[in-house]
Amino acid sequence: MSETNNLPQSISHKELNLLMIKAKKDLLSIPESNNTELQEIDEFLNDLDNLEKTAKCIIKKISSKKDKIFKAKSSNSIMAIGAMEVHLNMVIQALNIFKNDKN
């Protein structure tokens, strides 16, 4: 009976969603005999983390050094870098959605 006393009487959808986002995925659904699959998943997730870090670093450099980088560049080059910056921001958003998806 004392175990049930620790449970909250209610929880909001917002609180539940935050808990689900922070919860780690249960890897027990993957058979133990398939270690290579676990390694591939870990490698893929590490690659995604590296991509996110690199994208953030590039965006930071573009926004902090615009004058120096673009001084001698044509308008087409500046527009291309701007498009790249937008796409990198979309990459970061997509990575966040992928990481937070618990299905």
Q: How many structural domains does the chain have?
A: 1
The domain in which residue 78 lies consists of 36-103
Q: So what's the pLDDT on residue 37? A: 83
In the numeric block, which tokens belong to residue 36? 């290579």
Q: Confirm whether 11 is domain-assigned.
A: no
Token pair recorded at residue 25? 């995925």
Residue closest to 19 by CA, chosen among 89, 97, 100: 100
Structure tokens belonging to residue 84: 């790249």
Residue 17 lies in a domain: no
C-alpha to C-alpha distance for 98 and 48, rounded to whole angstroms: 10
pTM of the model: 0.60
On whether residue 92 sits in a domain, the answer given is yes
- Single-letter residue type at 59: I
23 assigned to some structural domain:
no
Number of alpha carbons in the 13 Å side-chain half-sphere of residue 83: 6
Q: Tell me the longest C-alpha to C-alpha distance in the chain.
A: 74
In this structure, is residue 52 part of a structural domain?
A: yes
Each residue's pLDDT tens digit in the chain (103 positions)?
Answer: 555 567 677 788 778 777 777 776 665 555 555 778 888 888 998 999 999 999 999 999 888 876 777 788 888 988 998 899 999 999 999 999 988 886 6
Sign of CA dihedral 86, 17, 22, 98: negative
